[in-house]
Amino acid sequence: MPESYEAKEIQVLEGKEAVRKRPAMYIGDISTRGLHHLVYEAVDNAIDEALAGVCTVISVTVHKDGSVTVEDNGRGIPVEPHPRFPEMSALTVVMTKLHAGGKFDKRAYKVSGGLHGVGISVVNALSSQLRVEVSRNNKVYMQRFERGEPVSKLEVVGESSHTGTKVQFLPDSEIFQETAFKMEILAARLRELAFLNKGIAITLEDERIGKRLEFHYEGGIVSFVKYLNENKTIIHPIVSFEKVKEDFELSLAFQYNDDFNEAVFSFVNMIHTTEGGTHLSGFKAAMTRALNQYAEKLKMDLKVSSDDILEGMAAILAVRVREPQFEGQTKTKLGNSEVKGMVDSMVYEFVSSYLEETPAVGRVIMNKVLTAARSREAAKKARDLARRKGALNHGSLPGKLADCQEEDPSLCELYLVEGDSAGGSAKQGRNREFQAILPLRGKILNVEKSRIDKIFSSGEIVNIITALGTGIGEEFDSSKIRYHKIVIMTDADIDGAHITTLLLTFFYRYMKEIIDKGYLYIAQPPLYRVRKKNHVFYAYDDAKLELLLSKIGRDKITLQRYKGLGEMNPAQLWQTTMNPEHRTLLQVTVEDAVEADKIFTILMGDAVEPRREFIQEHAKEVVDLDI
């Protein structure tokens, strides 16, 4: 008999109960991404004050106890009784009620980032402790909460000659899998906000490590583009403009460099739309149309595509929309259909006029784009040639690939292994049912310095593309991937690190969606093998070795430091690095696309001085160095 299903079985979750029951619906997930989203929600409230023209300074502090304070010099959240809930202050309503706030009344905020109105109340519900101070009416008001519930009344705790809001919260360890904030992730978001809000000063202080950063850019998005092209060779001055039409605002800045990779970032109401949307589609369409029209005028015989106009472009597109429609609370893609046409017409009108009025820059841009178009044609011919030779045929897998028996991609793993020797050990030691092995010979092509047409002359890269089954360039389709775990497995030495970096550069530049989907990993083989009597232990770094030796003692041991994967026999390689029950895999993620782009340019680009400075700055962080 089925269990009873009556009206009493229907649960109604309201407010904080709904948030705590399904936190991922509001902040994306309960791991690193969701944890940092709490800070973004609190900062967004301060940014909304900046958009309203009443906030100039925002400070974020990570405390030693793991809590975070976000403070601004805005107007301060209202503290008077709320008309609908007269027994509660407006502050208490904002902190405890979902869909409560000033974002819905356009008299308070013309445009806003925190449009769902659940931001700070969600932060409150997911924090074990939260304290809010409001400076307003020449007084300082304070109220404390625990897991979304008030544990004190709103009270006056002092006097103040300024206005603003200060929120300190401690993420609830009962909710989050990860509760340690990462300074680099917070810095990435705050840097973006400082660029997008010309003149605003944002500080980030981490009391745990005694580090303080300040972000303040008077040039706005022009400074942003300059930052993107910092280590690249630019070919013309930055092009920028701003346009306001009723409730819609558009800001654009772009500049080409002599590189082959794009660095185009789009924002809506200060929110980084990582998946783009209608505003980005309108920008691409306008640029393509304007440049093709200009090419016709110059009697150039080649038609350019949207991919061509992006090659070597650094650009920031920022729009402010009164009623934006995002896909979900995490706001990664804009869906307003009318925005595409507005961006298209504004950008087309400006770029067409700019090309006419600045012919010297226009010809430089046109030559760059036409070179990209010709490269695309060359890449198509190279791809067709490779396909005719069988190299890119899905049914013709690389001869060096030892494939697995499983056909469900979600269960399959592909190991990209440095060297034939290690590849041989991996083939013998693997679980043939779900683990495939592709040995790589030597260092692959540095794609940072190569156009896509050159990729098809690199046998190792072609083997990777073919093994994955996704295609590349215009034909790339992540849904055709044959493995949901792609594991880079190289030696723990300088050459191995270089090969790993080359592979990461390839995936980031040409298959970034694989990283975004969480399919790319780096194997963590042990550095040490310790034998004592009849027992064998493995240590993956110096710290773990010291911990191990402190437990088993340092006398009568045999210590071996592995210089390469080839030194391990198949059984050892399986047990330490490939066995899902014992191995350690490092998942590759891109939390900050702007910084990732810069670091790949520094490490793999042509400019030597930035690379030298990077090495000097981070030399002290090196744990293992082969000499």
pLDDT tens, position by position, 369-424:
998 888 888 877 777 776 665 556 555 688 889 999 999 999 999 999 988 888 89
- Crossing angle for the helix pair 32-51 and 183-196, to the nearest 10 degrees: 20
Q: What is the 3-state secondary structure (H, E, C) of 125-141?
A: HCEEEEEEEEEECCEEE
Q: Which of 9-23, 277-291, 438-452 has the lowest mean pLDDT?
A: 9-23
**Of 604 and 304, more confident:** 304
> Which range, of 171-175, 306-310, 421-425, averages the lowest pLDDT?
421-425
Of the two residues 364 and 23, the one the predictor is more confident about is: 364
pLDDT for the residue numbered 28: 78
Q: Is the pLDDT of residue 595 over 90?
A: no
Confidence category of residue 352, pLDDT binned at 50, 70, 90: very high
Domain 221-381 fold: Ribosomal Protein S5; domain 2 (3.30.230)
- Which residue bears the tokens 């630019």? 234
pLDDT of residue 626: 38
Strand partners, 539: 528
The SS3 call for residue 9 is helix
482 has a pLDDT exceeding 90: yes
Mean local confidence (pLDDT), 250-275: 91
pLDDT category, 456, cuts 50, 70, 90? Answer: confident
Percent of the chain at pLDDT > 70 equals: 88
So where are the chain's domains? 16-215, 221-381, 395-525+586-621
pLDDT greater than 80 at residue 441: yes
pTM recorded for the entire structure: 0.74
Task: Please check whether residue 61 is in contact with residue 182, taking contact to mean a CB–CB distance below 8 angstroms.
Answer: no
Alpha-carbon 44 to chain mean position: 18
Give the residue numbers annotated as catalytic, written as ranges: 418, 491, 493, 495
Under the banding of pLDDT at 50, 70 and 90, the label for residue 265 is very high
pLDDT at 380: 77
pLDDT mean across residues, the chain: 85
Q: What is the CA radius of gyration of the chain?
A: 28
Higher per-residue pLDDT: 388 or 586: 586
Burial profile 323-356: b = 16 or more Cβ within 10 angstroms, e = fewer? ebebeebbbbbbebeebbebbbebbbebbbebbe
Whole-number Å distance between alpha carbons of 289 and 343? 13
Residue 607 pLDDT class (50, 70, 90 cuts): low
CA distance 266 to 280: 7
Cα angle 196, 40, 61; round to 5: 100
Task: Kindly give, in sequence order, each residue whose CB lies less than 8 Å from that of residue 160, ignoring residues fewer than 6 positions away.
Answer: 135, 136, 138, 139, 140
pLDDT at 104: 40
CA dist 417 and 439 (Å) reads 5
Residue 162 has pLDDT above 50, yes or no: yes
The per-residue pLDDT for 23 is 85
Strands 149-150 and 248-256: unpaired
Widest CA span in the chain: 82
Please report where in the chains the tokens 């950008």 appear, as a residue.
347
On the 0-12 / 13-18 / 19+ scale of CB atoms within 10 A, 250 is buried
Which range (262-266, 339-343, 606-610) has the least confidence?
A: 606-610
Mean pLDDT of 17-37: 85
Say which CATH topology domain 16-215 has.
Heat Shock Protein 90 (3.30.565)
pLDDT of amino acid 9 = 36
Nearest-angstrom CA–CA distance, 178 and 591: 15
Q: What integer is the mean pLDDT of 221-239?
A: 94
Q: Given pLDDT bands bounded at 50, 70 and 90, which one contains residue 479?
A: very high
Topology of domain 395-525+586-621, CATH? Rossmann fold (3.40.50)
pLDDT recorded at residue 508: 87
SS (H, E, C) 535-586: EEEEECCHHHHHHHHHHHCCCCCEEEECCCHHHCCHHHHHHHHHCCCCCCEE
State yes or no: pLDDT of 112 exceeds 70.
no
pLDDT, tens digit, for every residue of 176-186?
A: 988 999 998 99
Q: What is the pLDDT of residue 7?
A: 40
Residue 329: pLDDT over 70: no
Q: Quickly state the pLDDT bin for 519 (edges 50, 70, 90).
A: very high
Residues 6+ apart with CB under 8 A from 549: 530, 557
Spatial separation of the C-alpha atoms in residues 317 and 330, rounded to whole Å = 19
Whether 414 and 487 have beta carbons less than 8 Å apart is answered as yes
For residue 38, the model assigns a pLDDT of 93
Closest Cα partner for 51 from 98, 103, 101? 103
Residue 13 has pLDDT above 60, yes or no: no
pLDDT given at position 138: 94
Over residues 280-303, the mean pLDDT reads 92
CB atoms near residue 614 (< 10 Å): 15
What's the confidence (pLDDT) of residue 12? 38
Confidence of residue 156 (pLDDT cuts 50, 70, 90): very high
- 117/22 Cα distance (integer angstroms): 17
Average pLDDT over residues 283-311: 91
- pLDDT at 101 exceeding the cut of 60: no
Does the pLDDT of residue 488 top 80, yes or no? yes
Q: Look at residue 449 and tell me whether its pLDDT is greater than 80.
A: no
Whether 255 contacts 237, CB under 8 Å: yes
Q: Of 43-47, 80-84, 118-122, 389-393, where does the model show the most confidence?
A: 43-47
Taking residues 495-509, what's their average pLDDT? 87
CA distance linking residue 169 with residue 132, whole number of Å: 9
Span 189-201, mean pLDDT? 92
Q: Please give the average per-residue pLDDT across 246-257, as a whole number.
A: 95
Tell me: pLDDT of 24 over 60. Answer: yes
| Rounded Cα distance, 450 and 500, in Å | 18
Q: Are 319 and 268 in contact (CB under 8 A)?
A: yes
